[in-house]
Structure 1
């Protein structure tokens, strides 16, 4: 059996070892993609599917539901995937976005309607077209060959999740505390500082260090220090992808004076050294251009 990794995300065994990837799966009866996706252990990130035409069936143990045009389905990490074209339908075309979320998206990904942990959302007629168009635009940008496409697609995906949350919000929804958002903004503005002074953070929101730490972890799901580290690494990834700055300068721009320490922290979090990550990103970008130019069924959107 071959050990070569599958490079077409529409076919089985694709690893989805990326931050964001998107496409259109054009399933037609007896066609190339007319099979059921079966991933018993799910994936490491999230997938949102939008049914565009036809119908699909999602199975969860002894339960199942059908997806109609305009329906969104959210599969969280490790959630089993078992879905395909509805038996009596001639086709099922669905757009999809696979992503690893930003840490502030915790509540945006807690969808109200679920079968086990699989989320389901059918927008009302007022916002259906708006959300469909936004989602398809994200897919399109996610497939762009621009070096900034992933960052732009992630920002637009956040917009989509916020709009969906606005439409489904109710009095029982838990909003993020304004003081937590203030802390997040302060941390982003001071990423280049070498040390995090928790007392300074607490003073910004007029709370004790222990109190803001408790509120922050309760709402974001990680400590202030952990969240700051996530943002530092995220900024480093963007700089490695989009600039020719040296590894040392990138480290200093996010508060690491010691290049070796920065490289060690980065590798522990990402699994690659900064230089190998930069090389890998360039190779992925080149492969993406080739794939989009050569594979129409990869999901490239044509008008």
Structure 2
């Protein structure tokens, strides 16, 4: 791994920038030195709504699970799926833990690529042993990070495409990556839900479609995606609403109907819950960025 150019990256760190996770994609650089302002442990007992990818650049991190702990070294990528507890910080034996990170709500077709071979208590681990592989991964992380704070037109879409590149490279580095990772019944069900976004569906109907009992389907869906069916579908509806607000002139009421909400006020509450702003405010923000 090349020497960290901290001076040029500090602008992407919590020392300079404030981060909010009420977004579809957030990314940054966290430089930790023993006794520094950022030298503390992150503890999220319930995990997060989205996924976190973490790439160690320098030093060592310590990750705790319910059954023990492990260290992450330079060139190692960690994957924290939605809902998986977070308890990590600088390894006491190391003076540093500098790492890049990306938080995102995954697109539907990414789910299979987020199923990694090596996991510890649900946390994926990928060690890039070749220096050139580690440096390439660093470059891909930095591309996503830089785009995540850019004001250029289509920056958000480009940032998500950069995240997709990171996910693909990680998946391609998995042993036997050509083998399916997500249960095909759940993958088929996700496609069905997206194709019938405006329709109300019931667990019994979905269970018949997947040839499973309702209770078995609920358990398997949560296991494969990290979310309940209703929570997953809600996120997909909001993601589709974001696309419509960016790419069309639809009124808010029409956007709500298009993604399956008959009540615009209820839709606005759901949207604000996920995005931190109302649909109208979100559109204004995107319009401002596109004119920049």
Work out whether the TM-score is over 0.5: yes
Q: Structure 2 stretches of 5 or more lacking a match? A: 1-11, 201-205, 212-216
Contact map agreement 2:256 2:262 (CA 8 A) in 1? no
2:124 aligned to which of 119, 123, 148: 119
| More displaced stretch, 152-161 vs 166-175 | 166-175
Answer yes or no: is 1:21 the counterpart of 2:26: yes
The Cα shift of 1:284 comes to: 9.6
Report what 1:83 is aligned to: 88
1:138 aligned to which of 144, 157, 161: 144
Pairing 1:198-237 to 2, within 5 Å after superposition:
213-214=209-210, 233-237=238-242
Report what 2:9 is aligned to: none
Cα deviation digits, residues 103-138 of structure 1 (max 9, x gap): 222222222211111111112416333222112211
Q: Helix, strand or coil: the match of 2:151?
A: coil
Using a 3 Å threshold, how does the CA distance of structure 1 residues 265 and 282 change in structure 2: closer, same or farther? same
Using a 3 Å threshold, how does the CA distance of structure 1 residues 133 and 15 change in structure 2: closer, same or farther? closer
Report what 1:299 is aligned to: none
Report what 2:278 is aligned to: 276
Contact map agreement 1:266 1:273 (CA 8 A) in 2? no
Contact map agreement 2:114 2:167 (CA 8 A) in 1? yes
Q: Helix, strand or coil: the match of 2:163?
A: helix
Report what 1:150 is aligned to: 156
2:134 aligned to which of 128, 132, 138: 128
Using a 3 Å threshold, how does the CA distance of structure 1 residues 232 and 280 change in structure 2: closer, same or farther? closer
Provide the rounded CA distance (Å) in 2 between the counterparts of 1:161 and 1:32. 31
Answer yes or no: is 1:53 the counterpart of 2:58: yes
Contact map agreement 1:241 1:282 (CA 8 A) in 2? no
Contact map agreement 2:62 2:72 (CA 8 A) in 1? yes
The Cα shift of 1:141 comes to: 1.0
- Please report the TM-score for the alignment, with normalisation by the length of structure 1: 0.65
- Measured on the aligned residues, the alpha-carbon RMSD in Å equals 4.4
Contact map agreement 1:147 1:241 (CA 8 A) in 2? no
Provide the rounded CA distance (Å) in 1 between the counterparts of 2:177 and 2:250. 48
Report what 1:200 is aligned to: none
Using a 3 Å threshold, how does the CA distance of structure 1 residues 153 and 248 change in structure 2: closer, same or farther? same
1:159 aligned to which of 165, 169, 173: 165
The Cα shift of 1:71 comes to: 0.8
Using a 3 Å threshold, how does the CA distance of structure 1 residues 73 and 255 change in structure 2: closer, same or farther? closer
Cα deviation digits, residues 55-87 of structure 1 (max 9, x gap): 211121342222211111111222222211122
Q: Structure 1 stretches of 5 or more lacking a match? A: 1-7, 197-209, 287-303
Report what 1:263 is aligned to: 264
Provide the rounded CA distance (Å) in 1 between the counterparts of 2:168 and 2:272. 31
The Cα shift of 1:151 comes to: 2.1
Contact map agreement 2:22 2:274 (CA 8 A) in 1? no
2:106 aligned to which of 96, 101, 105: 101
The Cα shift of 1:271 comes to: 4.8
Report what 2:174 is aligned to: 168
The Cα shift of 1:21 comes to: 0.7
User: Which one has a bigger Cα radius of gyration?
Assistant: 1
Report what 1:64 is aligned to: 69
Q: What count of residue pairs does the alignment treat as equivalent? A: 259
Using a 3 Å threshold, how does the CA distance of structure 1 residues 267 and 81 change in structure 2: closer, same or farther? same
